[in-house]
């Protein structure tokens, strides 16, 4: 029996297992889900053991890491798979057509939080390994799985874990499926990710909410102050106005510009799919350049004052917002967040108190675009999806990828099976059944293709 025949025969069982994995509400951001995180990690560990790997849970300062391995032949290459079992909060729940943690298939799509980001994708590799193990009795390469529970909260504990377990994690190449294909008909290999760094801004006014009749006109309203500051984060050309923000940003190369132009991209369909009246961004750049090769700054949320039913005549005591900046290679997360802090302090009115909480971040990465590992990935995708992959970049971030290079000295193959229409982080997240199946087949093929690479 070939691994592909095995995958075909076990398709039903495999979907049941994926559904089990998807049923854990493993929301890393919320402490109320701590137990669900543990249960999910335990289930995954048991599953990895059941398919024939040595697996265990490693506690960290935060949510645990699941680690598994199979040593086939000391002389063969070793592949380190990385993925995450944590998911984004599912809210707003009322916009989901079905329960985010009760997976269902509708029109060929698996609907569940984590379907595409990242449970469905990492599970494809688990099942690809299982298929080859079952069909051949062994693997053509050695495999290690590192599946964490904190990716969606910026991988807070993982760098330390990697530094502490360098030997255990030693490998020849890292494989990550946590990105997207270029489109529903064009699979892709991703060669670049943006980095990310986050900050929270708190603007305080009076020491309590006060009557807006008695005090209106006498003090600065913190919401006004915050909004005015937010309004100064970009200039009229769509550039980020933080001084020095672009100081380390390299221009988009001629080569990249040409490559991006070659990709099939329908600006109007893109606009329509988002339901916006027009696209907008940094002047002088295309949409693809803006999201793949230029940095960005966004306010993710803003709060303050009275939002309940009816009216309440107050000047609120405070207003706050959360900001993330997307970084391209060479931008340093700490440097950039220091620059943001300096700028906000400069533009804040003297009549309010400003507090800024800076969170850690991760730099952008570019991984090699050629070489034997990449060729192997391309051939595996051809087997799994029936098409050669495009080479693309991604505007999102996978924080730990830069650490694989700096701590472990390893390059990463980013082979995404998802789609942007899969609604990662949004209501009604989904993963196409065909992409899951093609992903499993790609994963099986990848083992043989990587085995051919002479390290």
Of 118, 130, 429, 437, the one binding Mn ion by CB under 5 A: 118
**Measured between alpha carbons, how far is 270 from 400 in angstroms, rounded to an integer?**
29
Who's near 140: CB < 8 A, 6+ residues apart? 72, 76, 132, 447, 448, 450, 451
Q: Is 412 in the site for ligand BES (CB under 6 A)?
A: no
CB of 418 to Mn ion, least distance (A): 9
C-beta closer to Mn ion: residue 82 or 245: 82
CB of 113 to ligand BES, least distance (A): 12
**Measured between alpha carbons, how far is 415 from 431 in angstroms, rounded to an integer?**
15
Q: Is 397 in the site for ligand BES (CB under 6 A)?
A: yes
Which of positions 20-39 make contact with ligand BES (CB under 6 A)? Answer: none
Q: Which of 303, 340, 307 is nearest to 223 (CA)?
A: 303
Which of positions 264-293 make contact with ligand BES (CB under 6 A)? Answer: none
**Measured between alpha carbons, how far is 7 from 341 in angstroms, rounded to an integer?**
52
Stretch that binds ligand BES, among 157-165, 262-270, 308-316, 389-397 (CB under 6 A): 389-397
Q: Is 86 in the site for ligand BES (CB under 6 A)?
A: no
C-beta closer to ligand BES: residue 242 or 325: 325
Of 86, 130, 150, 178, the one binding Mn ion by CB under 5 A: 178
Of 36, 117, 289, 403, the one binding Mn ion by CB under 5 A: 117
CB of 308 to ligand BES, least distance (A): 30
Residue appearing with tokens 């910026």: 154
**Measured between alpha carbons, how far is 48 from 69 in angstroms, rounded to an integer?**
9
**Measured between alpha carbons, how far is 47 from 18 in angstroms, rounded to an integer?**
11
Cβ pair 70, 142 in contact under 8 A: yes
**Measured between alpha carbons, how far is 120 from 363 in angstroms, rounded to an integer?**
26
Q: Which of 123, 158, 151, 125 is nearest to 23 (CA)?
A: 123
Cβ pair 361, 334 in contact under 8 A: yes
**Measured between alpha carbons, how far is 197 from 337 in angstroms, rounded to an integer?**
7
Residue appearing with tokens 């991988």: 155
Q: Which two tokens stand for residue 177?
A: 């499926």
For residue 317, what are the CA distances in angstroms to 225, 281, 303?
12, 33, 12
C-beta closer to ligand BES: residue 96 or 292: 292
Which region, left, alpha or beta, applies to residue 366 given φ > 0 means left and ψ of -120 to 50 means alpha?
Answer: beta
Stretch that binds Mn ion, among 26-34, 50-58, 117-125, 234-242 (CB under 5 A): 117-125
C-beta closer to Mn ion: residue 134 or 322: 322
C-beta closer to ligand BES: residue 180 or 415: 180
Pairing outcome for strands 390-394 and 188-193: parallel
CB of 188 to ligand BES, least distance (A): 11
Cβ pair 33, 161 in contact under 8 A: no
CB of 37 to Mn ion, least distance (A): 15
Q: Is 117 in the site for ligand BES (CB under 6 A)?
A: yes
C-beta closer to Mn ion: residue 70 or 417: 417
Stretch that binds ligand BES, among 61-69, 230-238, 397-405, 433-441 (CB under 6 A): 397-405
Of 78, 154, 181, 402, the one binding ligand BES by CB under 6 A: 154
Q: Is 429 in the site for ligand BES (CB under 6 A)?
A: no
- Quick one: what does residue 179 bind among Mn ion, ligand BES, none, with the CB cut-off 5 to 8 Å set by partner type? ligand BES
Burial 105-128 (b: 16+ CB within 10 A, else e): eeeebbbbbbbbbbbbbbbbbbbb
Site for ligand BES (CB under 6 A): how many residues? 15
Q: Is 396 in the site for ligand BES (CB under 6 A)?
A: yes
Taking residue 255's Cβ as centre, other Cβ atoms within 10 Å add up to: 8
Who's near 64: CB < 8 A, 6+ residues apart? 37, 38, 41, 57, 58, 149
Site for Mn ion (CB under 5 A): how many residues? 3
CB of 180 to ligand BES, least distance (A): 5
Stretch that binds ligand BES, among 20-28, 52-60, 248-256, 395-403 (CB under 6 A): 395-403
C-beta closer to Mn ion: residue 178 or 403: 178
CB of 306 to ligand BES, least distance (A): 30
Which of positions 172-191 make contact with ligand BES (CB under 6 A)? Answer: 178-180
CB of 173 to ligand BES, least distance (A): 19
CB of 159 to Mn ion, least distance (A): 17
Q: Which of 221, 216, 241 is nearest to 230 (CA)?
A: 241
Q: Which residues lie near ligand BES (CB under 6 A)?
A: 117-118, 151-152, 154, 178-180, 196, 394, 396-399, 424
> What residues make contact with Mn ion under the rule CB under 5 A?
117-118, 178
């Amino acid at each position: 029996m070939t691994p592909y025949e095995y995958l075909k025969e076990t398709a039903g069982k495999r979907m049941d297992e994926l559904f089990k994995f998807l049923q854990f509400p493993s929301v890393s951001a919320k402490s109320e889900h701590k137990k669900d995180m543990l249960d999910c990690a335990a289930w995954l560990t048991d599953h990895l053991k059941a398919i024939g790997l040595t697996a265990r849970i490693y506690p960290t300062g935060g949510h645990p890491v699941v680690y598994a391995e199979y040593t086939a032949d000391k002389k063969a290459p070793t592949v380190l798979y990385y993925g995450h079992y944590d998911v984004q909060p599912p809210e707003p729940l009322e916009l989901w057509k079905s329960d985010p943690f009760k997976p269902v298939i509708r029109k060929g799509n698996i609907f569940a939080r984590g379907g595409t980001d990242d449970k469905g994708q990492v599970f494809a590799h688990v099942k690809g390994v299982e298929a080859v193990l079952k069909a051949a009795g062994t693997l053509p390469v050695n495999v290690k799985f590192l599946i964490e529970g904190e990716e969606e909260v910026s991988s807070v504990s993982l760098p330390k874990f990697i530094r502490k377990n360098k030997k255990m994690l030693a490998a020849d190449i890292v494989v990550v499926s946590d990105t997207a294909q270029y489109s529903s008909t064009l699979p892709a290999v991703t060669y670049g990710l943006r980095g990310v760094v986050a900050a929270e801004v708190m603007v305080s006014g009076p020491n309590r909410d006060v009557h807006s009749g008695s005090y209106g006109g006498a003090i600065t309203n913190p919401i006004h102050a915050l909004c005015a500051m937010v309004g100064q984060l970009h200039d009229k050309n769509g550039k980020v106005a933080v001084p020095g923000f672009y100081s380390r940003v390299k221009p988009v190369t001629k080569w990249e510009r040409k490559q991006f132009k070659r990709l099939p991209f329908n600006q109007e369909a893109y606009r329509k799919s988002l339901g916006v009246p027009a696209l907008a961004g940094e002047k002088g750049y295309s949409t693809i350049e803006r999201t793949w090769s230029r940095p960005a700054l966004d306010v993710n949320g803003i709060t303050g004052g009275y939002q309940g039913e009816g009216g309440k005549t107050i000047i609120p005591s405070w207003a706050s917002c959360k900001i993330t900046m997307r970084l391209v290679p060479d931008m340093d997360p700490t440097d950039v967040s220091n620059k943001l802090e300096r700028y906000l302090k400069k533009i804040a009115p003297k009549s309010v108190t400003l507090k800024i909480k800076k969170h850690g971040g991760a730099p952008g990465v570019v991984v090699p675009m050629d070489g034997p590992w990449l060729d192997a990935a391309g051939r595996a995708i051809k087997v799994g999806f029936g098409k050669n992959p495009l080479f693309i970049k991604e505007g999102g971030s996978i924080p730990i990828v830069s650490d694989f290079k700096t701590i472990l000295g390893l390059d990463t193959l980013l082979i995404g099976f998802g789609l942007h229409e899969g609604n990662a982080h949004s209501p009604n997240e989904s993963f196409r059944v065909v992409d899951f199946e093609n992903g499993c087949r790609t994963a099986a093929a990848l083992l043989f293709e990587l085995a051919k690479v002479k390290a």
